[in-house]
Amino acid sequence: MAAYQVLARKWRPKTFADLVGQQHVVKALQNALDKGRLHHAYLLTGTRGVGKTTIARILAKSLNCENAQHGEPCGQCQSCRDIDAGRFVDLLEIDAASNTGIDNIREVLENAQYAPTAGKYKVYIIDEVHMLSKSAFNAMLKTLEEPPEHVKFILATTDPHKVPITVLSRCLQFVLRNLTPQQVADHLTHVLKTEKIVYEPAALALLGRAAQGSMRDALSLLDQTIAMGSGSVKETDVRDMIGAVDKRYLYELLTFLMEQDGTQLMQKAQEMAGNAVGFDSALNDLAMLLQRLALLKTVPGAVAADDPERERLTQLANYFSDEQIQLYYQCVIHGKQDLPLAPDEYAGFVMTLLRMLAFAPFAAKNTPQHGTIEGTQLHNPPPETQKKTPEPDGNIKSSLHTPNTDNSAAEPLPESTPAEVQAAFEVAEPPHEAFPKPQESSLHPESAADNVPWDTDTGDSNHADDTAEPAAQTEEAQPESAPLEVQAAFEAAEPPHETFPEMHESSLHPESAADNVPWDTDTGDLNHADNTAEPAVPTEGTLPENAPAEVQAAFELPPLRAENWVAIVRQLGQLPEISAAQMALAHMAWVDLQPSVLTLAVDRANTTRHTVKPAYVARIAQTLSQHYQSSLHIELVDWEDGRGWETPAMYETRRQNERRAEAVSLMQADSAVQKLQQLFGARWMESSVRLLSDSAS
**What's the pLDDT at 277?**
85
**What's the pLDDT at 419?**
46
pLDDT in tens, 502-561: 444 434 344 444 444 444 444 444 444 344 334 444 333 333 444 444 444 455 788 888
> Which DSSP category does 174 fall into?
E
- Report the DSSP pairing between strands 172-175 and 198-199: unpaired
CA–CA distances in Å: residue 565 to residues 368, 558, 573: 33, 9, 12
SS3 for 95-106 is ECCCCCCHHHHH
pLDDT in tens, 378-412: 444 444 444 444 444 444 443 334 444 444 444 44
- Cα 155 from Cα 52, distance rounded (Å): 9
- Cα 469 from Cα 508, distance rounded (Å): 10
**What's the pLDDT at 163?**
92
Q: Quick one: 562-646 is in which CATH superfamily? A: DNA polymerase III, tau subunit, domain V (3.30.300.150)
- Report the DSSP pairing between strands 151-157 and 41-45: parallel
- Report the DSSP pairing between strands 151-157 and 232-233: unpaired
CA–CA distances in Å: residue 258 to residues 200, 261, 266, 509, 633: 31, 8, 14, 49, 36
Is it the case that residue 26 has pLDDT exceeding 90? Answer: yes
- Cα 16 from Cα 56, distance rounded (Å): 11
- Cα 146 from Cα 116, distance rounded (Å): 17
**Cβ(42)–Cβ(174) under 8 Å?**
yes
- Cα 58 from Cα 62, distance rounded (Å): 6
**What's the pLDDT at 361?**
58
DSSP string, 473-535: GGSPPPPTT--HHHHHHHHHTPPPP---PPP-GGGGSHHHHTTTSSS----TTTTT--TTPPP
Write the CB contacts of 421 (distance below 8 Å, at least 6 apart in sequence): 396, 485, 486, 488, 489, 492
Is it the case that residue 608 has pLDDT exceeding 70? Answer: no
> Which DSSP category does 115 fall into?
P
**What's the pLDDT at 681?**
81
pTM: 0.50
Angle formed at CA 317 by CA 606 and CA 179, multiple of 5 degrees = 75
Report the 10 Å Cβ neighbour count for 180. Answer: 14
**What's the pLDDT at 580?**
72
360 pLDDT tier (thresholds 50, 70, 90) = low
Is it the case that residue 495 has pLDDT exceeding 60? Answer: no
Residues recorded for the chain: 697
Q: Dihedral angle at the C-alpha atoms of 498, 501, 503, 504, nearest 10 degrees?
A: 180
- Cα 369 from Cα 359, distance rounded (Å): 17
Write the CB contacts of 543 (distance below 8 Å, at least 6 apart in sequence): 392, 396, 397, 400, 401, 424, 427, 428, 489, 492, 493
Write the CB contacts of 454 (distance below 8 Å, at least 6 apart in sequence): 495, 500, 517, 535, 537
Average the pLDDT over 197-219 and give the result.
Answer: 91
- Cα 600 from Cα 580, distance rounded (Å): 18
Angle formed at CA 223 by CA 221 and CA 224, multiple of 5 degrees = 65
**What's the pLDDT at 469?**
44
Beta partners for 637? 601
- Cα 567 from Cα 559, distance rounded (Å): 10
**Cβ(141)–Cβ(166) under 8 Å?**
yes
**556 burial class (0-12, 13-18, 19+ CB within 10 angstroms)?**
middle
pLDDT in tens, 31-47: 999 988 999 999 999 99
- Cα 262 from Cα 390, distance rounded (Å): 20
Class of domain 181-242: mainly alpha
In three-state secondary structure terms, 227 is helix
**Cβ(423)–Cβ(390) under 8 Å?**
yes
- Report the DSSP pairing between strands 41-45 and 172-175: parallel
More confident residue, 167 or 411: 167
- Cα 450 from Cα 505, distance rounded (Å): 6
More confident residue, 445 or 682: 682
Amino acid of residue 508: L
Write the CB contacts of 268 (distance below 8 Å, at least 6 apart in sequence): 249, 252, 253, 256
**What's the pLDDT at 616?**
81
Write the CB contacts of 346 (distance below 8 Å, at least 6 apart in sequence): 269, 273, 279
Say if domain 247-385 classifies as CATH 3.30.300.90. no
pLDDT in tens, 91-142: 999 888 887 788 888 888 888 888 998 889 999 999 999 999 898 898 888 8
pLDDT > 70 fraction of the chain, expressed in percent and rounded: 70
Closest by CA to 594, choosing from 552, 631, 644, is 631
Q: For the chain, what is the mean pLDDT?
A: 75
Class of domain 7-175: alpha beta
- Cα 590 from Cα 645, distance rounded (Å): 7
**Cβ(281)–Cβ(245) under 8 Å?**
yes
- Cα 28 from Cα 94, distance rounded (Å): 25
Report the 10 Å Cβ neighbour count for 259. Answer: 19
Highest mean pLDDT among 332-336, 363-367, 431-435, 660-664: 332-336
Compute CA 276 distance to the chain's CA centroid, rounded to the nearest angstrom: 29
Amino acid of residue 414: P
Residue spans per domain, the chain: 7-175, 181-242, 247-385, 394-554, 562-646, 651-696
Closest by CA to 447, choosing from 409, 468, 473, 411, is 473
Closest by CA to 556, choosing from 527, 578, 580, 581, is 527
> Which DSSP category does 410 fall into?
P
**What's the pLDDT at 609?**
63
Amino acid of residue 599: T
Is it the case that residue 373 has pLDDT exceeding 60? Answer: no
pLDDT > 90 fraction of the chain, expressed in percent and rounded: 28
Report the 10 Å Cβ neighbour count for 523. Answer: 22
More confident residue, 480 or 560: 560
Beta partners for 232? 198
Compute CA 273 distance to the chain's CA centroid, rounded to the nearest angstrom: 28
